Chain A
Amino acid sequence: MKTETQNLQHDAKMARRAFLRYAGAGVAVAGLATVQSCSSRTEYDNEDMSGGGSSDKTDVGSGDVGILNFAYALEQLEAAFYVKVADSWYSGITDMEKMYLSDIRDHEVSHREFFKKALAGNAIKGLTPNFSSIDFSSRASVLATAKAFEDLGVTAYDGAGYMLKSADYLTVAGKIASVEARHAAVIAELLEPGSFVTNAQVNASGLNIVRTPKEVVSIANAFLTTKISAKNL
């Protein structure tokens, strides 16, 4: 297998641009953005060349079911994160923060359980998260991660919506997408008042940025022990 280093050396200029592109998208965890934008490039190349992708990844599938499983994967990740946040609050948490984060946990659990039930036999398995990079005792670490997840969720739903063939599925995706945007905005507000529509997330035409499923997956996989693939979307 071609290593990431070789790829980067071979293609340093493009990787540099890829980094700049995704850094512009404002992933809150700065170091993560670097790693992700580079490794995502590698992943595209590997997948494109091998065709089949890595066998140890959970593939979300194709078509509308694939899109819904893609959403289910993200909701699993978000729900697991907030459950852990609420299991042991970070030090110095305010009552308002506790209320907001508890509510968001409950919403994400509802999203997860909704997709699980709606997908039934077509649902992907339960994913094992890897939150080793997060300091759950630190307000800054928790809120930065929460912001990154919510912003990621918004770009994922907005970026994949057009791929859906079913109007009913599209409507449901829209129902959840705007709630993710509400979460994203208020977590940004907790970090810094007035930061709910920064130009890292909203462009000059007033449009929220979007990501392709592959871009989303490469970011999400940094937080998953069970890696996912969206190569058939």
Chain B
Amino acid sequence: MNLFNIIEEIEKVDPEIADRMNPRRSAIKNITSFGSKVAAAALPFALGTMFKKAYAQTGGTAADVANVLNFALTLEYLESSFYNIGLDKGGLIPTADRNNYISKISRDEDAHVLFLKSVIKDSLKQQPVDRASLQFDFTGGNGSNDGPFATVFSDYATFLKVATAFEDTGVRAYKGQAPALLGNQVVLTAALSIHAVEARHAAALRHLLHTKFSAALKPWIESTATAGNDTGISQVNGNYDKEQNVTHLGVDVTTLPETGNSADVRSATAAFDEPLTRTEVEDLLIGSFIVSNAD
């Protein structure tokens, strides 16, 4: 049962519920669009109850669900830290882009961190991953701070490209976890909703690279028959591997009736984003962007 339904159900027995929740008419729409401070304040209470109910309905244990969400939280820490460092570097991000793009993406990633921590801790009664246990190296150098993206916080195009790889990888990671949350209305729906927001970020960053740096990138991932990666940055080939897949549920999209270039590999691959398993994502990030401490 989602939040809209809950309010609707309550309205059937208590038509004044919206007024009870907040007497100001103008606040009603904000409650339901979550667009206001009122909503932000009211949300944890509503969600806490909903998550408990949802958890009671699902077959997985709280620990199983928390395990999936802790993986997601680790990725959100990575992204959140990345944008906060970038925003703190004077002269890196032009003011217009800061306002229109990076601050907004950073805000969403910070919100994802808070949301996931709250769900794991307050609703599932499990332990969230500790931020302090993670060390990041955004140059991709596993702690050397001199990896393949050494200029990530001094060269804006590099910053945007690393951001794009993170967002595209985030989309793939959430997609890969969806089956582990099968049927769980609240947690799966929340995960899918974050997944969509990561995709919005990825598209905006790709659009920005296209317009600002004349990058050949499109908002969607256009693979070739042999290479998933369309960014032109070979170091992230793995992050895009298998995006070149054109077959889903046994249907090869390149063989379907064509309009325009819809049956071309580039279009067919762009029309479907591909998942990554947790192991695949960890192999891509740990030892480069997430520092692995050799024993």
- Could you tell me if A181 and B260 are in contact, using CB atoms closer than 8 angstroms? no
User: For chain B residues 131-157, which have a beta carbon within 8 Å of chain A?
Assistant: none
Residues of A within 8 A of B (CB): 13-14, 17, 20-21, 23-26, 79, 83, 86, 96, 99-100, 102-103, 105-107, 109-111, 113-114, 117-118, 154, 157-159, 161-162, 164-165, 167-172, 174-186, 189, 193-194, 196-197, 199-212, 215
Nearest to B17 among chain A residues (CB) is A17
Inter-subunit contact A200/B33 (CB<8 Å): yes
Complex Cα–Cα for A208 and B183 (A)? 19
Tell whether, in the assembled complex, residue A208 and residue B196 are in contact, meaning their CB atoms are under 8 Å apart. Answer: yes
Task: Give the contact stretch, choosing among B83-91, B184-192, B232-240.
Answer: B184-192
Measured between beta carbons, the chain B residues less than 8 angstroms from A168 are 249
* B contact face: mostly helix, strand, loop, or mixed: helix
In the assembly, what is the distance between CA of A169 and CA of B25, in Å?
41
Please name all residues of chain B whose beta carbon is closer than 8 Å to the beta carbon of A197 when the two chains form the complex: 104-105, 108, 197, 200-201, 204
Contacts of B273 in A (CB 8 A): 174-175, 178-179, 182
In addition to A158-B192, A181-B195, A185-B199, 17 A-B residue pairs with Cβ atoms within 8 Å of each other are A20-B29, A20-B32, A21-B4, A24-B33, A100-B219, A113-B257, A117-B256, A179-B271, A179-B272, A182-B202, A183-B203, A194-B100, A199-B34, A199-B35, A200-B33, A207-B115, A208-B196
Cβ of B30: which chain A residues have Cβ within 8 Å of it?
A: 24
Asked if residues B272 and A175 are in contact (CB atoms below 8 Å), the reply is yes
Beta-carbon contact of B203 and A181 below 8 Å: yes
Q: Across the interface, which residues of A come within 8 angstroms of B189, CB to CB?
A: 158-159, 161-162, 210
Binding site for A on B (CB under 8 A): 2, 4-5, 7, 11, 15, 18, 25, 28-30, 32-36, 39-40, 43, 47, 99-101, 104-105, 107-112, 114-115, 171, 174-175, 178-179, 182-185, 188-190, 192-204, 207, 210-211, 218-220, 248-251, 253, 256-264, 267-268, 270-275
- Give the complex CA separation of A167 and B188 in angstroms: 12
Tell whether, in the assembled complex, residue B262 and residue A113 are in contact, meaning their CB atoms are under 8 Å apart: yes
- B214 CB → nearest A CB, Å: 11
A72 smallest CB distance to B (angstroms): 13
A176: chain B residues within 8 A (beta carbon) = 271-272
Do the beta carbons of A181 and B256 come within 8 Å of each other?
no
Query: Which residue, of B47, B201, B204, has the highest number of chain A Cβ atoms within 10 A?
Result: B204
Interface contact A86-B193, CB-CB below 8 Å: no
- CB closest residue in chain A, given B249: A118
Interface pair B271/A110, CB less than 8 Å apart: yes
Q: How far is the CB of B206 from chain A (nearest CB, A)?
A: 8
In the assembled complex, which residues on chain B have CB atoms less than 8 Å from the CB atom of A99? 218
Enumerate 16 A-B pairs (CB-CB under 8 Å) in ascending A order.
A109-B260, A113-B253, A114-B248, A158-B193, A162-B188, A164-B182, A174-B175, A175-B175, A175-B272, A177-B196, A181-B199, A186-B203, A196-B203, A197-B200, A203-B34, A210-B2
